Amino acid sequence: MSTVLLELRGISKRYPAVLANDQISLNVRPGEIHAILGENGAGKSTLMKIIYGSVQPDQGEIRFNGQLVHIRNPQQARALGISMVFQHFSLFDTLTVAQNVWLGLDKSLSLAEVTRRIRDKASAYGLDLEPERPVHTLSAGEMQRVEIIRALLCEPRLLILDEPTSVLTPQAVDKLFAVLRQLVAEGCSIIYISHKLHEIRSLCTSCTVLRAGKVTGECDPREQTNASLSLMMIGSEPPALVHRERMRGERVLEVNQLSLPRLDPFGTVLSSVDLQVHQGEIVGIAGVSGNGQRELLYALSGEDVRATADSIRLAGHAVGDQGPAQRRALGLHFVPDERLGRGAVPALSLAHNLLLTRSEAASDAGWIDMSALAAQARAIIARYQVKTSGPHAAAQTLSGGNLQKFIVGREIDAAPLVFIVSQPTWGVDVGAAAQIRAALVALRDAGCAVLVVSEELDELFELCDRMHVMAQGRMSPSLTREQATVGKIGSWMSGLWTDLEMAVN
């Protein structure tokens, strides 16, 4: 245990607008779970990509198992015994789960053998997954499971996990932690990146803190509190969320007996979904991913227009068969769980990404006022403290948390009547998460109807006035903040609510 498995010495990486890593040194020992802690944009993901070979450092050296190595690509990293689960998924939408996993494995294995191994791993780790499913039919949570299983199938000596539990339920997190502890007991080392401080304190045995690309501290997280870790990471404790009681107003979003057949063979059938959201309230939807949340969000946002017109009503208007533009005109704005690809076009600038849902800088004739567009983007960047080089930076150059702040800010800035957000703080540091949650509460206090879909139960309990659970395409009755408990929500995630409860609610 005294030897070092991975040693970084003086690693630096500069991009045109930022010094992402500045003379970083750290050691990871065999059989330890080593946390890398830092706010969004601190350089964590860049450093992990350097270890995994997908980014080359400008200077510094890497030693693995005592040997100086130059990791030129992920294939070489995997050959050394290094696997990584990325925060942003690296999957081909048109291929199946098994085909995606097969791409990164020894080609002497047949697809049938890989499929069998996926089933075995998924069963052993409690990560439900169908190897034959096309990736484009998966929810964000299910895609995360694919990435985790793909990494574990490589039997790594060093496993890098970048926000691995962002879209996992508490039960799935517990199962994953049991697996990780078993891997460590067998001699595997783990580098663990998470903004969930309680996870780091529970799981990790050592921690390196990054701020602005530099190492600013090291500690044993088991001896720290959430407050002390926050102080090390962002220099202060995040402000407490102030959630005042407020009389709710008119019902502005209403879903009545919404039933839809599955969009694809692996989708979820929506069955008689009822949902109401009033002005001045936050309603949350909990549930294990893949239970109809994606299908419901598509129907609410207007991406799926197969519903009958009357099954979805917005401010009194029947909109079930209308598209996103018509619904935005009535005041509905939507933030999807997939930041890159749906929430933003990766290669476009932040300013140009405003045009996906905002038209203030465009004239009736279709001309775009570029100075007004840049000013609009600049105002959102300033208001939500987005770390970026400016409005002309490409969306794909931002860290996940900073891009999330920009997308959420883009939609809140439109002063919506109804605001729907999926996984609002996925992969976001504690400071940014507090900022986003405070913005949602402020929006609610201003009279907006807010619907939050999240697999973070703590987040839902902190934010919501009422909560539902989705299970097997069905919607549970609603529970007030006072009625909701972790135990009841957990049991309802399996669809264990009764007809009597439906009638009472």
Q: Which CATH class is domain 251-331+416-504?
A: alpha beta
> Higher-confidence residue: 27 or 87?
27
d(CA 341, CA 324): 16
Q: What's the whole-number average pLDDT of the chain?
A: 89
**Residue 7: predicted pLDDT:** 96
CA distance 285 to 194: 23
Better-predicted residue by pLDDT, 424 or 497: 424
Q: Where are the domains of the chain?
A: 6-234, 251-331+416-504
Where residue 494 falls among pLDDT bands split at 50, 70, 90? confident
Tokens read off for 316: 């009194």
pLDDT band at 163 (very low <50, low <70, confident <90, very high): confident
Contact 140, 93 (CB under 8 A): no
Please give the pLDDT value at position 257: 97
Task: Check residues 183 and 293 and name the one with the higher pLDDT.
Answer: 293
Residue type, 177: F
* Whether residue 296 has pLDDT greater than 90: yes
- Does the pLDDT at position 21 exceed 90? yes
Provide the greatest CA pair distance for the chain: 70
**Predicted local distance difference test score (pLDDT) of residue 345:** 95
474 near 495, Cβ under 8 Å?
Answer: yes
pLDDT at 482 over 60: yes
**Are 6-234 and 251-331+416-504 equal in CATH topology?**
yes
> What average pLDDT does this structure show over 162-173?
73
Asked if 472 contacts 461 with a C-beta cutoff of 8 angstroms, the reply is: no
Strand partners, 344: 340
Interval 180-194 mean pLDDT? 90
Q: What are the residue ranges of helices labelled H in 66-139?
A: 74-80, 97-103, 111-125
30-43, pLDDT tens digit by residue? 989 999 998 888 89
Q: Token digits for 164?
A: 């691995």
The pLDDT score that the predictor gives to residue 25 is: 95
Q: Is the pLDDT of residue 302 over 60?
A: yes
pLDDT band per the 50, 70, 90 thresholds, residue 143: confident
- Res. 116 pLDDT band, cuts 50 70 90: very high
Mean pLDDT to the nearest integer, 414-419: 97
Q: Is 498 a residue whose pLDDT tops 80?
A: no
Q: Is the pLDDT of residue 499 over 60?
A: no
Query: How confident is the model at residue 500, as a pLDDT?
Result: 42
pLDDT of residue 16: 80
pTM of the model: 0.74
Determine the Cα–Cα distance for residues 322 and 300; give it in Å rounded to an integer.
Answer: 10
pLDDT reading at 357 higher than 80: yes
Options 1.10.230.10, 3.40.50.300, 3.20.20.70, 3.30.2010.10; CATH for 6-234 is 3.40.50.300
Where does the pLDDT of residue 404 fall: very low under 50, low under 70, confident under 90, or very high at 90 and above? Answer: very high
Tokens standing for residue 341? 């690809």
CA 483 to chain centre: 27
| pLDDT computed for residue 171 by the predictor | 67
Query: Are 25 and 62 in contact, with CB atoms under 8 Å apart?
Result: no
Collapsing DSSP states into helix, strand and coil, what is residue 413?
Answer: coil
| Antiparallel, parallel or unpaired: β 418-422 and 332-335 | parallel
Both tokens of residue 115? 């499929």
pLDDT at residue 168, as a whole number: 67
Q: Which amino acid is at 129?
A: L
Query: 198 versus 57: which is more confidently predicted?
Result: 57
Q: Among all chains, which residue has been given the structure tokens 């439900």?
A: 128
Task: Give percent of the chain with pLDDT exceeding 70.
Answer: 96
439-457: average pLDDT: 94
Rounded Cα distance, 247 and 417, in Å: 16
Output the pLDDT for position 90: 80
Task: From residue 74, give the alpha-carbon distance in Å to each of 24, 54, 143, 397.
Answer: 21, 6, 20, 20
Tens digits of residue pLDDT in 378-388: 999 999 989 89
More confident position, 167 or 200: 200
Q: Among 149-153, 169-173, 446-450, which range has the highest average pLDDT? A: 446-450
**In terms of DSSP H, where are the helices of 90-220?**
97-103, 111-125, 140-153, 170-185, 197-203
pLDDT score at 99? 95
What's the rounded mean pLDDT across residues 155-166? 87
Better-scored residue on pLDDT, 108 or 106:
108
23: three-class secondary structure by DSSP? strand
Mean pLDDT value of segment 443-468: 93
When mean pLDDT is compared across 135-139, 202-206, 267-271, 496-500, the lowest value belongs to 496-500
Contact (Cβ atoms closer than 8 angstroms) between residue 315 and residue 417: yes
Give the number of C-alpha atoms closer than 13 A to the C-alpha of residue 263, restricted to the C-beta side: 19
| Position with higher pLDDT, 302 vs 504 | 302
**Segment among 63-67, 121-125, 279-283, 284-288 with least mean pLDDT:** 121-125
CA distance 10 to 13: 10
Q: What is the mean pLDDT of residues 169-182?
A: 78
Q: pLDDT tier at 505 (50, 70, 90 boundaries)?
A: very low
Residue 107 has pLDDT above 80, yes or no: no
**Of the segments 4-8, 239-243, 498-502, which one has the largest average pLDDT value?**
4-8
| pLDDT tens by residue, 211-226 | 889 998 899 999 998 8
165 pLDDT higher than 90: no
Q: How confident is the model at residue 169, as a pLDDT? A: 64
3-state DSSP call for residue 163?
Answer: coil
